[in-house]
A and B are shown apart, each in its own frame.
Chain A
């Protein structure tokens, strides 16, 4: 068995899926780094693909470092699309470079750093893939572009049209939101449609908001729980794009219409548009997180955030998870992480009950 695993002419040993996981587990614990290193990397990669956190916590963090341990520093690059749509565009700021004159570039760079820091300091995760993935962002995408998105490899930010939306790099939670789509892609990989899609969106809002709270040093009671505050142009009647505290209350405007988010299952919106309402029904799990975090008090990223992170990255969340699947796993994760005697699992269970998501 071991013979097949040794290095061969300088090539990286290949562990195919034919190697049973329990064998990889044993090898990963081996004292010889030539054996344990590749086995660990395979397990980690496998875990990323299937969204399993277990191996990274057991091996990568707890025992000997990987052959090439990911850095505790981010590796950021900001590009300028020059109002075109070719990606990534022209490199305008690399890691360690001094700030330039373009505030948009500087905000993107800082936001990438803040996101990297929350995931590392609060949860021990190295970048969005857990293995130090470089963080790339393109700003000034297209003309008057009213959007920001994650394209599977990098973030893309529009400048807004100035009439409805301002520059999408303004709210730090928007930057965190986009990068969290990357974390989700590398972990639970929630399908971007219907309830799993709304959970995917909610993960991005939850961690986007936590990145803002962590950066500002705000407790759950102090936070505004808004997504996209500062993004709406002055003439628009609204305070943000979404409210986790009070879904449905973020804006009510002649041009934009009214914030359509429900807070509970009673108002769940069935629609085929917006990938089955991913930006609409995310209000329900968003509100559950808000309720759990404020019931627990203190810094939201510490307990409520940890529980949500454990579920997102823990390997048990199916890519087609429904709200009830996610809710059950948060209660389980709360018990596992904080014990049966703690307030945590009760607060989490009550939050789901309040939004009408039943836990079987």
Chain B
């Protein structure tokens, strides 16, 4: 499973992008559950968000959803944090 996260906006307006390929990882199942949860509560188009809030684009195996701070679900927040921290 290939999970990509693109974060845009924010006070600095600096974009960040990272991705994780879960194939062969011992925690692949954990990633899969997180990714499915994040996708299920995501939106098909970018939500309006708030001034200076981060906007997120989450793509899992080619399927893309959007969400924005501060209204992220727990799964979305956990997923984007992990991908941006651990991903390449």
Contacts and interface: CB of A to CB of B under 8 A. Distances in A.
Interface of A: 85, 87, 142-143, 146-152, 156, 165, 168, 174, 177-178, 181, 184-185, 192, 200-201, 204, 228, 241, 256-257, 260, 273-275, 278-280
Interface string B38-82: 000000000011111111000000000000011010000100010
Contacts of B50: 149-152
Contacts of A177: 11, 52
User: Which of B12, B50, B55: most chain A CB closer than 10 A?
Assistant: B12
Nearest to B77: A85
Contact of A181 (B49, B51, B55, B70): B51
Interface of B: 8-15, 48-55, 69-70, 72, 77, 81
Nearest to A273: B8
A259 to B, nearest CB: 9
A147 B15 contact: no
A275 B52 contact: no
Contacts of A156: 70
Contact of A150 (B8, B9, B52, B72): B52
Given A241-B12, A256-B14, A85 B52 contact: no
Given A143-B81, A178-B51, 17 more contacts: A85-B72, A146-B10, A147-B52, A147-B69, A148-B52, A149-B11, A149-B52, A156-B70, A168-B11, A177-B11, A241-B12, A257-B14, A260-B13, A273-B15, A275-B49, A278-B9, A280-B13
Given A146-B10, A147-B10, A151-B70, A192 B15 contact: no
Contacts of B12: 146-147, 165, 228, 241, 279
Contact of B53 (A149, A200, A201): A149
Contacts of A142: 77
Contact of A147 (B11, B48, B72, B81): B11
B59 to A, nearest CB: 15
Contacts of B11: 147-149, 168, 174, 177-178, 228, 241, 279
B1 to A, nearest CB: 25
A20 B7 CA distance: 47
Majority DSSP secondary structure for residues of A touching B: mixed
A199 to B, nearest CB: 12
A297 B87 CA distance: 49
Given A146-B12, A148-B11, A174-B11, A200 B69 contact: no
Contacts of A280: 13
Nearest to B57: A273
A178 B69 CA distance: 15
7 contacts: A177-B11, A178-B52, A192-B48, A192-B49, A273-B9, A279-B9, A280-B13
Contacts of B9: 273-275, 278-279
User: Which of B10, B15, B51: most chain A CB closer than 10 A?
Assistant: B51
B70 A85 contact: yes
Contacts of A149: 10-11, 50-54, 69-70
A70 to B, nearest CB: 24
Contacts of B51: 149-150, 178, 181, 184-185, 192, 200-201, 204
Nearest to A174: B11
Contacts of B72: 85
Given A181-B51, A181-B52, A274 B70 contact: no
B70 A279 contact: no
A280 B15 CA distance: 12
A87 B52 contact: no
A55 to B, nearest CB: 26
Contacts of B13: 241, 260, 274, 278-280
Contacts of A200: 51
Nearest to B70: A151
A142 B48 CA distance: 21
Contacts of B8: 273-274
Nearest to A197: B51
A272 to B, nearest CB: 9
